[in-house]
Amino acid sequence: GGAILSTSLPGSVVAVHDDNEYGRTTSFSLAQNYPNPFNPTTAISYHVSAASFVELKIFDILGREIATLVNEKLSPGLHKTVWNAVNFPSGVYFYRLQTDGKRLTRKLLLVK
C-alpha cells in the first residue's frame, strides 16, 4: 500500500505542519524524487492532508516553468506522479508542489 512507498523512498522528506482553528495538525510533504539523478523518468511522491487543489510543476534552472504534472483537486493521502523528461536536455531542474497557499520546492537532476 501507500505507506510502504513513503518509507521505501531514499532521501529526506520535508513536511509542513499547521495547527488549524480546531487544534488538529495537518501535514503536507514532498519527497525527493526517485531515482535521482534520472533518465528519462522519475517518480515524485507527496502527501496531501486534506482534499485540495494541487499543482505540481517543473521549472528549469532559470526558473522558467517547463511542465505541469498535476493541476487538479486531489483527495487526502499519498500521491505519486511520474515525470518523463525524454524531450528535455540534461541538467538541474526544480519541482514545486503547491496547495492552499503552501509551497515546497526540491531539486532534481536529469543526466542523459
pLDDT at 45 over 90: yes
**Residue 70 contacts by C-beta under 8 Å, 6 or more apart in sequence?**
54, 55, 56, 79, 81
Tell me the whole-structure pTM to 2 decimals: 0.76
Q: What is the pLDDT of residues 6-40, one digit of tens each?
A: 333 444 445 444 444 444 445 789 999 999 999 99
